[in-house]
């Protein structure tokens, strides 16, 4: 899941877990024919988030269908592709990136989502594709220290890039989600959210260049959160739920939703998976209107099903509550399609700029 | 051995030439990507620097252990070995807490008004060098100490008896005899350093000074197996070249026998 997804460190660790997991419970379900699926292996990255998934999604699914849900490791797109190529199905429900779940990229790696079973009419726009359906919605938003700016409150990405008015270092997920970093820079430079494509990488890099020496690049959500918590940075582009949880734990931080980069946590099924029928049933179950909202009662993930009822207590901390402000939907097909087609150039330009 | 090492390595090398299209494309692409080439030199340069630091510090340390009383020697050896048993991630996080702008050193110095602005300790090359030295020092100390133990102190007494001053006796007799340990330790530290990931990721600036392992991670996550394999092959080639050169120049086989065979 994206909150735990890391460009490097975490994915390396997870890769090891994935390898270790091959010999474990995961294998047993893969050999079971689809008609009599008894067990389903679903990615669960652990932590509070994972415990909440088990409570609100996994166990209720077992109660309803009798199919046991086993925690599987998070797999990167590369690992999903490798799994499909080797036909060793260790995980039945995976989290592909938005780029992999596209019609163009997904056909060799993922089963098309069965929208006869999954009710996409109730899902928020930009949170489902041919090969993936969002289980929840998360966001990259601006988190800032409330004790560093003498009572002034930063609001927009333009403020984020104004180190005169708001001095201090900035945390950005350069080792995790390069496109999200570029979107923030372009919004700060005055580009409207619907004018981001075609992505003007050079313009974004030029804008980032104005605060380059102040940026601290990080890889995982926990690293970004720690930078803000310790006061190492004064502001950060952070996972929204990590900022609000810091604030709730008493840290002097707050969040600005203006210009948030919204994305769905897509679920998909590896191509050729023997448990595809049960996997589709699972995806339909967790995105259904009665089940999808229950997740927000134990973690700050917004439901992707617009008809479901989220926890009213944390409604103000959910990305979906703030869609009336400027925002970018990262998993929208238009944006994801463009990024997928140019990911190489984007990553390479960014890396070349960053190391220069 | 063939199954676990040669086969996957062979596959990697094969892939670097075949995926996505047959030919040298992946290698050309790497050569034309400044950030990639810079990472390669960063990896090599930093590993070399750390090897030198480890050699100097490790030699002095091993020397102290060698000529300390048995009890102090045991304490000193324990002090260098014990941290090696603690997880590398944990030790790196600890260093991060010590070095960062809001960390222990800076807060202490700020509180006693020695400095008015925090010192830039973390996210620098210095921090990476320090971190890697901390992690790799035991691998230098042990072989050097092992070789030093094999040197009969009577040789030095003999040199002194023949009129050599202590410094001359050390430089002309003891140092040359202990060099094999230094070479062995240097090789281990250098080669191990090439593969570092966690230390530069958490202590480095993640901008100019990225290690090759960090650079490659971006492309592996995007399932660019061919390009990733090409970078892996380049690093493998560099490592093997280093080993081969060392083997020829320093007669490594002999050194390893001496270091670990317990020459007395």
Q: Which of A82, A355, A356 to mutate to test the interface with B (most CBs of B within 10 A)?
A: A355
Indicate whether A328 pLDDT > 50. yes
Cis? peptide before A158, omega within 30° of 0: no
Question: Which of B102, B210, B221 is opposite residue A77, by nearest beta carbon?
Answer: B221
Cis? peptide before B20, omega within 30° of 0: yes
Question: Which of B35, B100, B210 is opposite residue A232, by nearest beta carbon?
Answer: B100
**Which chain B residue's Cα is nearest to A354?**
B207
pLDDT band at B260 (very low <50, low <70, confident <90, very high): low
A78–B221 CB contact, under 8 Å: yes
B206–A344 CB contact, under 8 Å: no
Residue A36: exposed, middle, or buried by beta-carbon count in 10 A (0-12, 13-18, 19+)?
Answer: exposed
Q: What is the predicted pLDDT for the residue at A24?
A: 36
Question: Which of B101, B207, B220 is opposite residue A232, by nearest beta carbon?
Answer: B101
The minimum CA-CA distance between B123 and chain A, rounded to whole Å, is 8
Exposed e or buried b for every residue in B140-170, given b needs 16+ CB within 10 A?
bbbbbbbbbbbbeeeebeebeeeebeeeebb
Closest CA to A85 of A213, A323, A272: A272
Q: What is the predicted pLDDT for the residue at B206?
A: 86
Spatial distance between the Cα atoms of B53 and B107, rounded to a whole number of angstroms = 27
List chain A residues with CB under 8 Å of B39: 355
Indicate whether B89 pLDDT > 80. yes
* DSSP three-state, residue A173: coil
Long-range contacts of A242-250 (CB under 8 A, 24+ apart): A242/A3, A242/A143, A243/A141, A243/A143, A244/A300, A244/A314, A244/A317, A245/A300, A246/A143
Mean pLDDT of B114-123: 90
Least confident of A128-142, A339-353, B56-70, B243-257: B243-257
List chain A residues with CB under 8 Å of B105: none
Indicate whether B217 pLDDT > 60. yes
User: Is the distance from CB of A99 to CB of A132 less than 8 angstroms?
Assistant: no
Spatial distance between the Cα atoms of B202 and B92, rounded to a whole number of angstroms = 7
Contacts of A247 (CB under 8 A, 6+ apart): A253, A254, A255
B206–A218 CB contact, under 8 Å: yes
Distances (CA, A) of A33 to A82, A276, A353, B187: 22, 10, 50, 52
pLDDT band at A20 (very low <50, low <70, confident <90, very high): very low
Q: What is the predicted pLDDT for the residue at B65?
A: 95
Percentage of chain B beyond pLDDT 70 is 95
pLDDT band at A28 (very low <50, low <70, confident <90, very high): very low
* DSSP three-state, residue A236: strand
ipTM of predicted complex: 0.83
List chain B residues with CB under 8 Å of A81: 223
- Helices B175-194 and B225-250 pack at an angle, to 10 degrees, of 170
Q: What is the predicted pLDDT for the residue at B258?
A: 61
Closest CA to A253 of A214, A220, A227: A227
Top mean pLDDT of A258-262, B184-188, B242-246 is at A258-262
Mean pLDDT of A329-333: 88
Tens digit of pLDDT for each residue in B105-118? 999 999 999 988 88
**Structure token digits, residue A68:** 């046991």
Spatial distance between the Cα atoms of B97 and B103, rounded to a whole number of angstroms = 5
Q: What is the predicted pLDDT for the residue at A32?
A: 41
Supply the DSSP string of B84-120, one letter for each residue: GGS-HHHHHHHHHHHHSTTSHHHHHHHHTTS-SS---
B33–A169 CB contact, under 8 Å: no
pLDDT band at B188 (very low <50, low <70, confident <90, very high): very high
Indicate whether A127 pLDDT > 50. yes
Percentage of chain A beyond pLDDT 70 is 90
Spatial distance between the Cα atoms of B189 and B246, rounded to a whole number of angstroms = 13
Q: What is the predicted pLDDT for the residue at A168?
A: 96
**Structure token digits, residue B48:** 């070399």
Tens digit of pLDDT for each residue in A46-104? 877 889 999 999 999 999 999 999 999 999 888 999 899 999 999 999 999 888 898 88
* DSSP three-state, residue A226: helix
Mean pLDDT of A300-314: 92
User: Is the distance from CB of B99 to CB of B13 less than 8 angstroms?
Assistant: no
Closest CA to A112 of A303, A279, A285, A332: A279
Q: What is the predicted pLDDT for the residue at B1?
A: 73
Q: In this complex, is the C-beta atom of B224 within 8 Å of any C-beta atom belonging to chain A? A: yes
pLDDT band at B239 (very low <50, low <70, confident <90, very high): confident
Helices vs. strands in chain B: H and E counts, helices first: 14, 0
Q: What is the predicted pLDDT for the residue at A12?
A: 42
State the pTM of this model. 0.85
Indicate whether A22 pLDDT > 60. no
What's the full length of chain A, in residues?
356
Mean pLDDT of B61-66: 95
Indicate whether A261 pLDDT > 70. yes
Distances (CA, A) of A3 to A31, A95, A177, B177: 31, 12, 11, 55
Mean pLDDT of A37-45: 92
Mean pLDDT of A305-327: 93
The minimum CA-CA distance between B260 and chain A, rounded to whole Å, is 31
First to last CA, chain B: 32
Indicate whether A4 pLDDT > 90. no
**Which chain A residue's Cα is nearest to B228?**
A78
Tens digit of pLDDT for each residue in A196-237? 999 999 999 999 999 999 999 998 888 999 999 999 999 999
């Amino acid at each position: 899941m994206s909150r735990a997804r890391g460009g490097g460190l975490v994915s390396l660790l997870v890769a090891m877990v994935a390898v270790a997991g091959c010999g474990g419970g995961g294998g047993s379900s893969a050999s079971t024919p689809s008609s009599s699926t008894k067990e389903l292996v679903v990615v669960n990255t652990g932590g509070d988030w994972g415990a909440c998934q088990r409570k609100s999604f996994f166990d209720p699914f077992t109660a309803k269908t009798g199919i046991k849900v086993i925690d599987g490791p998070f797999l990167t797109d590369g690992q999903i592709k490798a799994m499909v190529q080797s036909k060793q199905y260790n995980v039945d429900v995976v989290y592909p990136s938005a780029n992999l779940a596209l019609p163009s990229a997904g056909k060799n790696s993922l089963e098309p989502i069965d929208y006869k079973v999954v009710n996409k009419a109730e899902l928020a726009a930009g949170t489902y594709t041919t090969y993936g359906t969002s289980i929840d919605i998360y966001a990259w938003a601006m988190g800032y220290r409330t004790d560093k700016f003498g009572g002034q409150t930063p609001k927009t990405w333009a403020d984020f890039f104004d180190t005169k008015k708001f001095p201090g270092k900035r945390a950005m997920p350069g080792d995790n989600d390069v496109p999200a970093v570029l979107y923030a820079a372009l919004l700060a430079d005055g580009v409207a959210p619907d004018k981001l494509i075609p992505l003007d990488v050079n313009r974004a890099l030029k804008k980032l260049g104005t605060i380059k020496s102040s940026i601290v690049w990080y890889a995982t959500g926990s690293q970004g959160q720690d930078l803000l918590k310790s006061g190492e940075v004064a502001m950060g582009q952070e996972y929204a739920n990590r900022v609000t949880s810091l604030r709730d734990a008493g840290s002097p931080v707050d969040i600005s939703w203006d210009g948030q980069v919204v994305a769905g946590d897509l679920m998909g099924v590896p191509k050729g998976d023997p448990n595809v029928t049960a996997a589709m049933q699972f995806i339909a179950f967790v995105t259904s209107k009665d089940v999808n909202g229950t997740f927000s009662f134990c973690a700050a993930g917004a439901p992707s099903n617009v008809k479901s009822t989220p926890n009213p207590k944390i409604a103000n901390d959910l990305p979906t509550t703030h869609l009336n402000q400027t925002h970018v939907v990262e998993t929208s097909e238009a944006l994801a399609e463009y990024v997928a087609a140019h990911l190489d150039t984007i990553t390479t330009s960014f890396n070349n700029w960053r190391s220069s | 051995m063939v199954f676990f090492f040669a086969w996957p390595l062979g596959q990697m090398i094969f892939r670097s030439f075949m995926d996505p299209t047959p030919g040298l494309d992946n290698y050309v692409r790497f050569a034309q990507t400044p950030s990639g080439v810079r990472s390669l030199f960063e990896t090599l340069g930093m590993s070399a620097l750390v090897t030198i630091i480890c050699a100097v510090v490790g030699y002095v340390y091993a020397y102290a252990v060698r000529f300390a009383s048995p009890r102090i020697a045991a304490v000193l050896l324990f002090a260098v070995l014990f941290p090696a048993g603690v997880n590398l991630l944990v030790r790196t996080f600890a260093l991060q807490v010590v070095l960062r702008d809001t960390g222990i050193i800076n807060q202490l110095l700020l509180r006693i008004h020695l400095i008015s602005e925090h010192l830039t300790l973390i996210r620098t090359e210095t921090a990476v060098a320090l971190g890697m030295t901390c992690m790799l020092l035991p691998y230098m100390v042990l072989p050097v100490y092992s070789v030093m133990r094999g040197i009969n102190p009577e040789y030095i007494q003999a040199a002194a008896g023949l009129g050599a001053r202590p410094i001359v006796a050390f430089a002309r007799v003891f140092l040359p005899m202990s060099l094999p340990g230094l070479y062995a330790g240097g090789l281990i530290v250098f080669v191990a350093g090439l593969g570092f990931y966690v230390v530069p990721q958490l202590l480095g600036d993640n901008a100019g000074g990225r290690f090759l392992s960090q650079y490659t991670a971006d492309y592996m996550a995007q399932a660019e197996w061919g390009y990733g394999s090409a970078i892996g092959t380049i690093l493998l080639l560099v490592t093997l070249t280093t080993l081969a050169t060392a083997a020829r120049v320093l007669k490594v086989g002999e050194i390893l026998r001496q270091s670990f065979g317990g020459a007395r």
